[in-house]
Amino acid sequence: MPSSLFTSVSGASAEHEYYTPLPPGYRLGKTKFIIVTGSVMSGLGKGIFSASLGKVLQEHGYRCAPIKFDGYLNIDAGTLNPYRHGEVFVLDDGTETDMDLGTYERMLDITLSKDNYLTGGKIFHRVLSQEREGSYLGRDVQFIPHVTGEIKRFLRHLAMKSKADFVLMEVGGTVGDIENEYFIEAMRQLAYEEGKRNVCFINVTYILEPGFLGEQKSKAAQLGIKRLMELGIQPDIIACRATHEVTEKVREKISIYSNVPVENVVSMHDVPSIYLIPGMIKQARLDRRIMDILHVNHQRKRAGDGRWLHFIRNIQKPEREVTIGITGKYTALRDSYASIIQAVEHAAASLRCRAQIKWIDTEKITSQNAAAALEGVAGIIVPGGFGKRGAEGKIACIQYAREHQIPYLGLCFGFQLALVEFARHVLKLKDADSTELEPKSKHPVIDILPEQQGLASLGGNMRLGGHDVLVTPGSRAYALYGSGKIRERFRHRYECNPKYIPQFEEAGLVFSGRASANAGRIMQILELPNHPFFIGVQFHPEFLSRPLQPHPLYASFLKACLPPA
Ligand code: GLN
């Protein structure tokens, strides 16, 4: 490969067509790249597949750095509507990302940062800023080489910073989308520059099985893969998503059309839990094929994964069942509550039970019909949320839980509404409210954070990311965390109005967690002592739950929901 292929930013002048800014000290071939694209349709679970593959490679003793690219022009996921795009997953450094980053953190048991998430908006923002700074030395700034160069730089920066053996690159959307075409071009260039044995392309495709035919059809997949090949990319592996196991015949057909040996065309059909997918990858020997393609040794270390197998067994063969209610519309897509559902699943597995979730649409709930709406639920979670819609119904559910000794877990908005409920019905401040819901409230027990006052733009400026929380010794929270100092992730604009703290405390409500910064002003955990389990938290514990380390709040909430063994 010509060394002039790599130039610095300043080298992108009239003499060079090549523009590949390399991070200083970058060594070609040190990190292997696995690039996962999708065809036929989006929503196939590319993130789950990539995360599972990463987990298997970890078991071989390798270090994996996942990265997701989203084609939209938003700089991050912060301003996206979760009902359209799935939940906004918040990283410790405050980056607001796509829900797939949550899947990566959980499956790989690692903590990610802004370097693991890239959007079209973020790339263009950087290219345009550099243009304004004059970094391109009079050249016309082009998709190729400048935008593609920026993408390659980002990936190589991650490779160096993470010291990963493998960078797992998930390209969001579908091959053929306008939004990711230049990105796929950048991946083609990357493969050319890094060399054949250093880059492996996996296409996740979909095998249709229309009910009226009763058989699997591969045409859509063939066309999708062909589209990828038209862009100059020869896939090494084809992972076929399907409802049922993909037949040999269909795999052969795809193999012939795509130049991929049939043993590298594998079935990734539906399984009852995403945590079974790493096992499926191993069974298909996909990990080994990828390691062969990339010329790395198999099984440098066999991780003794008895705990993982135990976890899987508990998921598959629960001994008990419990139903918990979560306020939120099921029809609003499970993806909007992805981390909560996962946190419940992890906690349930640790208790050898299965938690059924009953979604409670609160728009029509009042204190008169709350009992009927909550019939059969052993505990209630009010998750994070924004705005007025359904808020009164959530307050009615919280009142019911408080008065009827039903375990309650309030998350962020659920913490704030628990305070509104307590203020209205225990402190007898009839008009108590959050200024988010009622700006002119006479008793604004929840009010905007002072630093949020007057902020005009919406993106990236909530109180975001990981913050330390001081937990009061002797409290329930202290007992379940087993520590006086914890770290949790936040995403909010409002807080408990400090003016009302004394009144809450006099009436018996305990604030057992406070921010360690801001002189402890921001209340972070509330609990009611004379209740089986009533805890609200200003943060999102679900972002920290991992399969083998269920979050203590979820685990003890669920335990409180179970009938005594
Ligand atoms: N809407 C509330 C706030 O901005 C709660 C946010 C949330 O639940 N994530 O503070």
**Closest Cα to atom 5, ligand 1: which residue?**
413
Amino acid at position 447, single letter: D
**Which superfamily does 319-561 belong to?**
Class I glutamine amidotransferase (GATase) domain (3.40.50.880)
Could you tell me the sign of the dihedral formed by the alpha carbons of 362, 366, 367, 370, in that order? negative
3-state secondary structure (DSSP) of residue 155: helix
Site residues for ligand 1, CB cut-off 6 Å: 384-386, 412-413, 436, 491-494
Q: Give me the architecture of the 3-293 domain, per CATH.
A: 3-Layer(aba) Sandwich (3.40)
User: What is the pLDDT at residue 9?
Assistant: 43
Nearest partner of 58 among 223, 168, 203, 135, judged by Cα: 168
Asked whether the beta carbons of 481 and 537 are under 8 A apart, the reply is no
Where along the chain do the CATH 3.40.50.880 domains lie?
319-561
Structure tokens at 369: 């019909």
User: What is the pLDDT at residue 105?
Assistant: 98
494, 524, 540, 543: residue to mutate for ligand 1 pocket, most atoms within 8 A of CB: 494
Q: For residue 384, give the ligand 1 atom closest to its CA.
A: 8
In order along its 565 residues, the chain shows pLDDT tens digits of: 444 444 444 444 455 666 676 788 899 889 999 999 999 998 899 999 999 999 999 999 999 999 999 999 999 888 888 877 789 999 999 999 999 999 999 999 999 999 999 999 999 999 999 999 998 888 899 999 999 999 999 999 999 999 999 999 999 999 999 999 999 999 999 999 999 899 999 999 999 999 999 999 999 999 999 999 999 999 999 999 999 999 999 999 999 999 999 999 999 999 999 999 999 999 999 999 999 999 998 865 655 678 999 999 999 999 999 999 999 876 566 789 999 999 999 999 999 999 999 999 999 999 999 999 999 999 999 999 999 999 999 999 999 999 999 999 999 999 999 999 999 999 999 999 999 999 999 999 999 998 888 777 777 789 999 999 999 999 999 999 999 999 999 999 999 999 999 999 999 999 999 988 766 778 999 999 999 999 999 999 999 999 999 999 999 999 999 987 6
Q: What is the pLDDT of residues 30-72, one digit of tens each?
A: 999 999 999 999 889 999 999 999 999 999 999 999 999 999 9
Asked whether the beta carbons of 225 and 254 are under 8 A apart, the reply is yes
Structure tokens at 394: 């959530």
Q: What string of DSSP letters covers 452-491?
A: GTT----TT-SEEEEEEEEE-TTSHHHHHHTSSEEEEEEE
3-state secondary structure (DSSP) of residue 370: helix
User: What is the pLDDT at residue 303?
Assistant: 57
3-state secondary structure (DSSP) of residue 23: coil
Catalytic residue among 105, 193, 421, 542: 542
Where along the chain do the CATH 3.40.50.300 domains lie?
3-293
Distance 280 CA to ligand 1 centre (A): 39
Distance 438 CA to ligand 1 centre (A): 14
End-to-end CA separation in angstroms for the chain:
67
Rounded to the nearest 5°, which phi and psi values hold at 212? -75, -15
**Closest Cα to atom 6, ligand 1: which residue?**
492
User: What is the pLDDT at residue 2?
Assistant: 41
For residue 547, whether the previous peptide bond is cis, meaning omega lies within 30 degrees of 0, is: no
Q: For residue 414, give the ligand 1 atom closest to its CA.
A: 8
Cα diameter, the chain: 77
Catalytic residue among 64, 240, 353, 412: 412
**Closest Cα to atom 7, ligand 1: which residue?**
384
- β-bridge partners, 96: 90
User: What is the pLDDT at residue 8?
Assistant: 45
Asked whether the beta carbons of 560 and 379 are under 8 A apart, the reply is yes
